[in-house]
Structure 1
Amino acid sequence: MQFYGLKTCDTCRKAVSALRAAGQVPEIYDVRGDGVPPAVLEAALTRFGAPMVNRRSTTWRDLSEAERQEEAATLLSRYPALMKRPLIVDGDDMTLGWDAAAQAKWLG
């Protein structure tokens, strides 16, 4: 299980704690420092599309209008912290965010 998030993200920290408590052993990648491998990012964009861009983030608010019009793939490559978090990948299974559906999937 690969876990893509931010070390400073409260939601990511809660998700990692819950996963570990449930016996999962996630490989944790900080999207700022480690990035998201291009193949994983492409698969996630294919599955989730534009909602991968967190439009409520500080990073989004700091973008110019021109930048906000760019493709999601371009934005996420340039500004990894703009990705909605966490992105959890295990084989072909993938979730974005830490909502009830993601928790049910990974915590059982």
Structure 2
Amino acid sequence: MNTLFGIKNCDTVKKAQTWLKQHEVAYTFHDFRIDGLTDTQVRGWHKELGDALLNRRSTTWKQLTDAQKAEAEADPVALILANPTLIKRPLLDTGTARMVGFKQDQYAQLFR
């Protein structure tokens, strides 16, 4: 089953949800803030996606201290668990593949 991870008020998440519905792709939505995240999930995503997982353009990132940013560069998992909006949104997990962000052409290729 496809799972779309994000926050409900994120415009990019909304665009991804609209695309999935229009293309009749079944999915469940997992809100980071409401449903939480586990250490295992975040570590797995970081191992697979690497640097792409961390959203350095987010308001949350910009509000971090230099020490926190340095910590995130070394091992971002603890900081992401404390601040899940540091994850680039949305994160789509198909069960066999994961991708961050939303681009229509990438979704179309993934679900063709």
Letter in 2 for 1:74: A
CA RMSD, 1 decimal: 1.6
1:39: how far off?
2.8
CA 1:6 to 1:86, structure 2 compared with 1: closer, same or farther past 3 Å? same
**Identical-pair percentage:** 31
DSSP 3-state at the match of 2:93: strand
Q: Which residue of the partner structure matches residue 41 of structure 1?
A: 42
Partner of 2:101: 97
Give the count of matched residue pairs.
Answer: 108
In structure 2, the partner of 1:29 is: 30
The question of whether the paired residues in 1 share the 8 Å contact of 2:52 and 2:100 is answered with no
* Long gaps (5+) in structure 2: none
Are the aligned partners of 2:4 and 2:30 in contact in 1 as well (CA < 8 Å)? yes
Matching of residue 67 in structure 1 with residue 71 in structure 2: no
Q: Indicate if the aligned counterparts of 1:96 and 1:102 stay in contact, CA closer than 8 A.
A: no
Higher helix residue share: 2
Alpha carbons 1:52, 1:72 under 8 Å: kept: no
One-letter amino acid of the structure 2 residue matched with residue 42 of structure 1: R
Normalising to structure 2: TM-score of the pair?
A: 0.86
TM-score between both structures, scaled by the size of structure 1: 0.89
Q: Which residue of 2 aligns with 1:57?
A: 58
